[in-house]
Structure formats: C-alpha cells, structure tokens
Amino acid sequence: MYEIKADPALPYHYFIGVAVKTPFSKDFGKLYLKYFLEFQHEDIEKVRTAMRLIADRMYPSGISNSEAVEIAECGDIVWAVTAMKLSLGANDATMHHFSSAHPLDEKFFEDLVDRATTNKHDKKLLDKARI
C-alpha cells in the first residue's frame, strides 16, 4: 500500500481480486470478481506511517512490524490485505486497485469484471489497475 497511487481527492479505495473460471465450470474462461476490499485514504496514510516507523533509524534497536502497525493503528487493513494477497496467490487471481471520489459498491466491480471478459475497454481498465 506504500507504493500505490493515492490522491486525497479520491478518498475511496478498493482492492479487488479477479480470477478466471476453470475448465470445470460451465463459464470456462470467464473473468469473475473473487475478492473485494474497500478502505479509505486515511487507511493508506496509516500504513505509510507504519512503514516510515519501521524504516526510521532513530530507534537504535529498531521497531518491529507488529509494533509499527499497532502504533499506526492500521492492523485491520494490513491483515486484510495480507490475507487477500496470500489467497490471490493460492487461487491464481490478480489484484487491482481503484480509487473514487464517491463510494462504490461490490456490484459495481462485479459488473465491471463481468464485462471485461468481452469488452476491450473494461479489460483495459482492469489491466491498468493491476498491481
């Protein structure tokens, strides 16, 4: 989350996991939304604070990752993203980041991913948002 592009003017953020239906499915090859995680710009700032604490050389003995996460109060989002990344790897799915000025719901992303199977424009949006 430290590296993602985050504009404070777009305070609503979403990580989605996209997978492809397997040969055992009647919709083989179709993209579908597998995971959905929503968070706000302030969560990104908290994670960045934790990362700065970990890298800060002012602490002679260093500060552990868990201590930094606790100080920055970002444990929920860190563990959610970590679990999502592990699950994405195990399921051969991809992760994508979207930002918005207004709240979006899971249905919005389900429709986007569904259309991306056949619509070049929506597929390009997904490809551009891949992280």
Q: How far is CA 84 from CA 37, 81, 115, in A?
A: 9, 5, 23
More confident call, 119 vs 2: 119
User: Does the reported pTM lie above 0.85?
Assistant: yes
Q: What is the mean pLDDT of the chain?
A: 92
pLDDT in tens, 82-127: 999 999 999 999 999 999 999 999 999 999 999 999 999 999 999 9
Strand boundaries in the chain, DSSP class E: 12-20, 31-40, 94-100
Task: List b or e across 66-76, with b for residues whose CB sees 16 or more CB atoms inside 10 angstroms.
Answer: eebbeebebee
For residues 25 and 45, is the Cβ–Cβ distance under 8 A?
A: no
DSSP bridge pairs for 36: 16
